[in-house]
Amino acid sequence: MNRGQPLATSIRDSLPGPDDISRDVLPNGIVVLSRANFNSPSVVVSGYVTAGSLFDPEPKLGLAFFTALGLLRGTGQRDFQQIYNQLESVGASLSFNTGAHTAGFSGRCLRVDLPLLMGILCDVLRQPAFPENQVERLRAQLLTGLAIRAQNTADMASLTFDEMIFANHPYSLPEDGWPDTVRATTRDDLADFHRKAYGPRGMVISLVGAVDPRQAVKLVMDLFGNWSNPAQEEVPELPPLQPLKKTATRRVTIPGKAQADLVVGVSGLSRRDPDYIPASLGNSILGQFGMMGRIGDVVREKSGLAYYAYSTLNAGIGPGSWEISAGVNPANVDKAIKLIRTEITRFVERGVTDEELADSQANFIGRLPLSLESNAGVAGALLNMERFELGLDYYRRYPDFIHAVTPDAVLETARKYLQAKKLAIAIAGP
Amino acid sequence: MIRTTLPNGLLVLLKEIHTAPLISSWVWYRVGSRDEAPGLSGISHWVEHMQFKGTPRFPAEVLDKAIARVGGVWNAFTYLDWTTYFETMPADKIDLALQLEADRMVNSIFDPQEVFSERTVIISEREGSENQPLFLLGEAIQKTAFRAHPYQHEVIGNLADLQSISREDLYNHYRSYYVPNNAVLAVAGDFETAVMFEAISAAFAPIQAGEMPPRIDIEEPPPVGEQSLTVEGPGETCYIQIAYRAPTAAETDFDHLTAVDSLLAGPSNLNMFSAGLSNKTSRLYQALVEKELAVAIHGSLGTTIDPYLYTFTITVHPSRKPEEVLAAFDDEVSRLHETTASPAEIERAIKQAQALFAYGSENITNQAFWLGHAEMFASYTWFENYLARLSELTPAGLRTTAQTYLQPQNRVVGVYQPTGEGS
């Protein structure tokens, strides 16, 4: 049996590890991660603060997202024009996004412009002004985004699926809110949200590229070392999740569309769960490996029903999801769902072969150099190690974790999570 | 960097980059949707799909698994002027990519059963695009902008043609265009040039040169005046596209227009595999989005062999009418006609392009992409000299170019008018 070739020592050593990642904790709690790459003339700065949508009150759903996007609209030091003039004039970028637990930032610049980028990041995180006129402009953009979302069959199928698998849980709520809740949110709501959710506790920042790690830490220390926010609230606890008791189907009608999107699946596991790696390998076999695994083979290659059909294992801080997505002609929805359900049943009944597992194991290990090629890839890896407490030696030990998984372990996790009789099926289309 | 031609006519470009243990290999064919006769629209893209269905030596599942097993990625793209296939692999596994590309240059099977099932896959791909308002608008604009040139149809093809193209049509298209003398192989990454060249020769030199395929050569007559169209569809969001007939990528005017685009709509992203820069200080963002006439604006200038389109896409503010937006857009274009841009604005565009080049250099797949892509409409020197050419541009040159190309009689204005259904 071919278990895949061992990773060449030289490649293993080129992966981020404790000897080339620097990790420092500032007195106010900020974690600074850094890894130098002087082959590159640029630096990526990314990270997060614990200001995610779990804080959103339901009538103002989307508040965390609105606030994060509002940060760049002006500060006590710089107005909107100045922020973007400084960034764009040097070809730098900076943007924000949110998840349930955190608000994330991501920026990039040439080496010489790092102090400028960091200065702006500090300014917008610590003293955003949320100017009234900019908040209104942003609101119109957000509302347009929601109008576009309402017309997007893939977005609406996914949103409906989350409502089903995460019923009565905050993960069921869309981070970008609803038109009514975005309209109900005021400029002062953004300022209040910033006061209570933004602060150094739980903040992680990673700098990767043409910067010496000592310099990186000093830069963060100089800018953020004296940041404190006694009013910073703890992230709300997650309530327990009640999984579906039987298979349920929900349809969203979007008239005039040529194609329907569907999502079939279950709630899943957290990234920190020991089952994550076997589940992830199982997912690869089910709907990722090569041209989208078994699902792609059955739905696309053999039946010609869809241009895309694949499975995804989403895993974060809390419960995740294990879902299969496809875009099909409206006349073929039932046929595609039937094929997908048959594959799920086969997967949980018969498991995977030695050969299939060996293929996916080899893929997981072989693709590491490509996924860690760029500064952004490494920065993402550093943040994952921190967020999910994987340890700084995670990528060096990763091949061992992958090789340790057996077909039985894959079958066991599949049976535990992919309950073929308790599926959520969401369809959005004409 | 070396650029050489094998005896069978295959153009080979190699660039060593030793920053990561990866190699990216791209095979480019000089065939795209511009090479499609009436009734066969979409055939180049469909042939691209069939190239993943296997050869006697590498049956489909074998190919696919072999790449994935070593952690490689592969994909293909079809555009107006070209079709390309790439693999990015761990450096010690690149030979597999060379072997399979050489093999499928001549030996793809085009099994009738596979043609049958792929027809509905491609129709499904088209239906997915039809769900997007901007696809519907873009397709209508292309059709209106070109009366004679085959740039008038979308790469994916018309539905009627996708329903009628036969296995024989596909195979003939493949055999006509997939010959080494109509192809470019570009490889970048962690290798020694001499060793790589030897491996390439071993894989590709045995392939016989074919007859040089003819390219459809239809000159599009000059535009006859401004054209306007409206597409209606579901939703609540109104979009405008303004598409000007553009110069070819090899012309000097193209460089000027690149800088004009940078001023008007923000720097073009040259990197195939990463995000570009924001455009919030561009003139049109300031005039349209900051004035609350629009919620988004971007510009797109394609690198093509024949004159194609320089297109602006505007997402209209929910409380505004498209006519108001178009009037403000035209004011900004007039400003560019009437007032010379400052040298500082051009310097800024250059600095932005430099930064984008630096970011793109991190990605070996992107580097190999440019090595071959530039050959499709000019040569690799086009890419190498890009920044140098930008630095030679003058404010007066920009103004003249804007006056030449950004004229109402040179454009199609399309509006996606939402019917509000489903909102």
The DSSP result for A297-341, as a single string, is IIIIIIT--EEEEEEEEE--SS--EEEEEEEE-GGGHHHHHHHHH
| Token pair belonging to A218 | 């000093």
In the A/B pair of chains, how many CB contacts fall below 8 A? Answer: 203
- Nearest by CB to residue B119, choosing from A108, A304, A308, is A304
Domain-terminating residue out of A224, A259, A284 = A224
Is residue B323 located within the same domain as residue B369? yes
Q: Indicate whether B198 and B60 sit together in one domain.
A: yes
Clarify whether residues B242 and B191 are in a common domain.
no
Please tell me the predicted confidence (pLDDT) of residue A14.
Answer: 79
Nearest residue in chain B measured CA to CA from A85:
B281
In a domain, B217, yes or no: no
Q: Which of A191, A224, A257 is the last residue of a domain?
A: A224
Total of domains in chain B: 2
Q: Answer yes or no: is pLDDT of A113 > 70.
A: yes
Classify residue B216: in a domain, yes or no. no
- Give pLDDT, residue A6: 52
Q: What pLDDT is attached to residue A7?
A: 60
Number of domains forming the structure of chain A: 2
Each residue of B325-348: pLDDT tens digit? 999 999 999 999 999 999 999 999
Angstrom CA distances, B29 to A407, B50, B76, B196, B379, stand at: 42, 15, 11, 21, 14
Determine the average pLDDT of the residues in A320-348: 97
CATH number at residue B378: 3.30.830.10
Q: Is residue B218 part of a domain?
A: no
- Tell me if A172 is assigned to some domain: yes
What confidence score (pLDDT) does residue A8 get?
A: 64
CATH number, domain of A100, equals 3.30.830.10
- The amino acid sitting at A284 is S
pLDDT beyond 60 at B423: no
The overall pTM is greater than 0.80: yes
Q: How confident is the model at residue A4 (pLDDT cuts 50, 70, 90)?
A: very low
Is B284 within a domain? yes
Contact A362 B315 (CB under 8 A): no
Across the range B5-9, mean pLDDT stands at: 98
Closest CA to A69 of A17, A142, A8: A142
What DSSP assignment string belongs to A151-206?
T-HHHHHHHHHHHHHTTTSGGGS-TT--HHHHHH--HHHHHHHHHHH-SSTT-EEE
Average pLDDT, chain B: 95
Q: Between chains, do B364 and A373 touch, taking CB under 8 Å as contact?
A: yes
How far does chain A reach from its first CA to its final CA, in angstroms?
A: 48
Could you report the per-residue pLDDT of B288-309, keeping only the tens digit for each? 999 999 999 999 998 999 999 9
**Nearest beta carbon to residue A89 from set B93, B116, B348:** B348
Final residue before a domain boundary, out of A190, A224, A258: A224
Shortest alpha-carbon distance between residue A32 and chain B (Å): 23
Rg (CA), chain A: 23
- Compute the nearest-CA separation of B190 from chain A (Å): 12
Residue A179 lies in a domain: yes
Say how far apart CA B50 and CA B108 lie, in whole Å: 8
CA dihedral (B287, B290, B294, B300) in degrees, to 10, reads: 60
Can you give the pLDDT at residue A3?
A: 39
Backbone angles phi, psi at B350, to 5 degrees: -70, -45
Query: B233 and B184, same structural domain?
Result: no
Residues A52-94: pLDDT tens digits? Answer: 999 999 999 999 999 999 999 999 999 999 999 999 999 999 9
Torsion of CA B319, B321, B322, B325, to 10 degrees: -70
- A45 pLDDT exceeds 60? yes
pLDDT at A288 over 90: yes
Q: Give CA–CA dist B164/A359, Å, rounded.
A: 38
B351-385 pLDDT, tens digit per residue, is: 999 999 899 988 999 999 999 999 999 999 999 99
Query: Is the Cβ pair A259, B124 closer than 8 Å?
Result: yes
pLDDT tens, residue by residue, B173-212:
999 999 999 999 999 999 999 999 999 999 999 999 999 9
* A170 lies in some domain: yes
Task: Answer yes or no: do A291 and A354 share one domain.
Answer: yes
Q: Based on the fold, state whether residues B349 and B405 are members of the same structural domain.
A: yes
B residues 198..257 contacting A (CB < 8 A): 233-237
Tell me: do A57 and A117 sit in the same domain: yes
Residues B108 and B6 occupy one common structural domain = yes
Residues of B whose CB is below 8 A from A141:
295-296
Range of the domain at B256: 227-418
Q: What is the per-residue pLDDT for A10?
A: 66
pLDDT in tens, A359-388: 999 999 999 999 999 999 999 999 999 999
| DSSP state for residue A251 in the 8-state scheme | E
pLDDT at A407: 98
Structure-model confidence comparison of residues B362 and B16, the more confident one: B16
Enter the tokens of residue B139.
């397709």
Residues B149, B12, single domain; the answer is yes
In the predicted structure, residue B25 carries a pLDDT above the cut 70: yes
pLDDT at B62: 87
Tokens of B371: 């090595």
pLDDT number for residue B214: 86
Residues A156 and A253 in one domain: no
A170 falls in which pLDDT band (50, 70, 90)? very high
- Identify which has the larger pLDDT, A14 or A393: A393
Token pair belonging to B208? 């016989």
**pLDDT tens-digit readout, A396-414:** 999 999 999 999 999 999 9
- In this structure, the answer to whether residues B246 and B109 fall within a common structural domain is no
Q: Which pLDDT band, with edges at 50, 70 and 90, does A9 fall under?
A: low
Q: Is the pLDDT at A347 greater than 60, yes or no?
A: yes
Model pLDDT, residue A1? 34
Q: What is the pLDDT of residue A2?
A: 36
B154 vs B42: CA distance, rounded Å: 8
Among the three residues B142, B169, B204, which one is the final residue of a domain in this structure? Answer: B204
Same domain, B231 and B157: no
> Are B58 and B228 spatial neighbours (Cβ–Cβ below 8 Å)?
no
Percentage of chain A exceeding pLDDT 90: 95
Residues A63 and A212 in one domain: yes
| B148: pLDDT strictly greater than 90 | yes
The pLDDT value given to residue B166: 98
Contact predicate A229/A55, CB 8 Å: no
| Contacting A residues, span 239-268, partner chain B, CB-CB under 8 Å | 253-259
Q: Which of B383, B403, B188, B381 is nearest to B303 (CA)?
A: B383
Euclidean distance between CA atoms A108 and A359, whole angstroms: 36
Categorize the per-residue pLDDT at B273 as very low, low, confident or very high, splitting at 50, 70 and 90: confident
Same structural domain, B195 and B52:
yes
Tell me the average pLDDT across A269-288: 97
Residue B413 covered by a domain: yes
pLDDT at A137 over 90: yes
Residue B221, domain member (yes or no):
no
B368 residue type, one letter? A
- Answer yes or no: do B195 and B236 share one domain: no
- Is B90 part of a structural domain of the chain? yes
| B131 and B243, same domain (yes or no) | no
CA-to-CA separations, B69 to B73, B89, B133, in angstroms, rounded? 10, 10, 38
Answer whether residue A86 is part of any domain: yes
Q: Which domain holds residue A283?
A: 248-429
Does B423 fall in a domain? no
